[in-house]
Structure 1
């Protein structure tokens, strides 16, 4: 039992720390918590975590295939850059035009189930696979995670819990901070757009620096 806990905590730690930097998913969780409800924000985060788990298992079980298909991930990364940039520009444009009573931002101004929204937003960033490929290979190579079904399952469970824990900080802490600062909904929507544009810029940097598989 004692040798299994480090596997669980390894997955939790990597995923939790990966959620802490400001990103479109955790800002969206904050936005839903502020403009809709905490319950819907958690439903959204469940969708995000499910895709994270799926991508992690793909990375753990398909390392050879990933290495043989790096070019495909580069193309997907370019598509992500374009999509994030467009969403960022549209979000800021909508925010600048909106009146304060019109609260919802571009991403959540719809009737889509928040679980499905979390699935979709998380799924459009396939670069999570190289991220988990790197960390999975790192822990397997140093013996912290053995290439067995039990260890893979524990690592995956830990990662899912880490994702939810990171999202929780933005759901509850973000809502508290926004109320404390008395930030307007327009400002929150502008921040969301800016995060998308910054995410696109970071992804673009990774493409040109060759860092897609060096997260």
Structure 2
């Protein structure tokens, strides 16, 4: 029972966390639009390969990371700035750039996925916070090898969540006239700005009494 719960909790948390629009999903959408499944799957494997390291380390050092407030605070600030940079990139790139092959597509999709996820600052506070909560609330068991089922569930959740989002976004872009242009030029930048503002609000609420 504990094994199945570890698997299910890991899947649920990761699936929910991967579905909201983020730059990893946007990159996956562009890769799939240009090259299909042949490059999309290696890209997704690269993402979850790097994520497996992050989940393992934050799980192993969850309590220590939670006490290291300044370090966690720095990653939270970087995640806000990163979202604003992404919003500016998609908004200010020229219209003609949309028909050009993005730079990251020239590289191995596996390497691109791993590297892009490695600079995803949001995953550190995300997994640290969730792992601490799940451990303290006794939702998961991390003794022995059973913890690897939690990690496995989380990786499968990320894979399924990202794949579902990318395919859904591609379907809409193909079937709604003009959506692709407005999506990349206006909708995605606005969503990133909204996410940055929300992150900034949570950051303020969390540390305003310090």
Partners of 2:107 and 2:189 in 1: CA distance: 20
- The 5 A counterparts of 1:18-97 are 18-94=17-93, 97=94
Partners of 2:133 and 2:85 in 1: CA distance: 34
Q: 2:95 aligns with which of 67, 88, 98?
A: 98
CA 1:122–1:32: 2 relative to 1, 3 Å: same
Q: What value does the CA root-mean-square deviation take over the aligned residues?
A: 2.3
Q: 1:44 touches 1:117 (CA, 8 Å); kept in 2?
A: yes
Partners of 2:202 and 2:20 in 1: CA distance: 16
Tell me, which stretches of 5 or more residues in structure 1 are unaligned?
none
Partner of 1:120: 115
Partner of 2:190: 194
CA 1:193–1:31: 2 relative to 1, 3 Å: farther
Partner of 1:130: 125
Q: 2:23 touches 2:86 (CA, 8 Å); kept in 1?
A: no
CA 1:206–1:52: 2 relative to 1, 3 Å: farther
Q: 1:8 touches 1:157 (CA, 8 Å); kept in 2?
A: yes
Q: How far 1:24 moved relative to its partner?
A: 1.9
CA 1:209–1:51: 2 relative to 1, 3 Å: farther
CA 1:104–1:134: 2 relative to 1, 3 Å: same
CA 1:179–1:128: 2 relative to 1, 3 Å: same
Tell me, which stretches of 5 or more residues in structure 2 are unaligned?
none
Q: 1:63 touches 1:133 (CA, 8 Å); kept in 2?
A: yes
Partner of 2:103: 109
Q: 1:7 touches 1:155 (CA, 8 Å); kept in 2?
A: yes
Q: How far 1:29 moved relative to its partner?
A: 1.4
Q: 2:62 touches 2:131 (CA, 8 Å); kept in 1?
A: no
59-68 or 136-145: bigger deviation: 136-145
CA 1:98–1:161: 2 relative to 1, 3 Å: same
125-134 or 166-175: bigger deviation: 125-134
SS of equivalent residue, structure 1 residue 6: helix
Partners of 2:140 and 2:123 in 1: CA distance: 19
Partners of 1:19 and 1:127 in 2: CA distance: 12
- Aligned residue pairs, count: 205
Q: 1:59 touches 1:130 (CA, 8 Å); kept in 2?
A: no
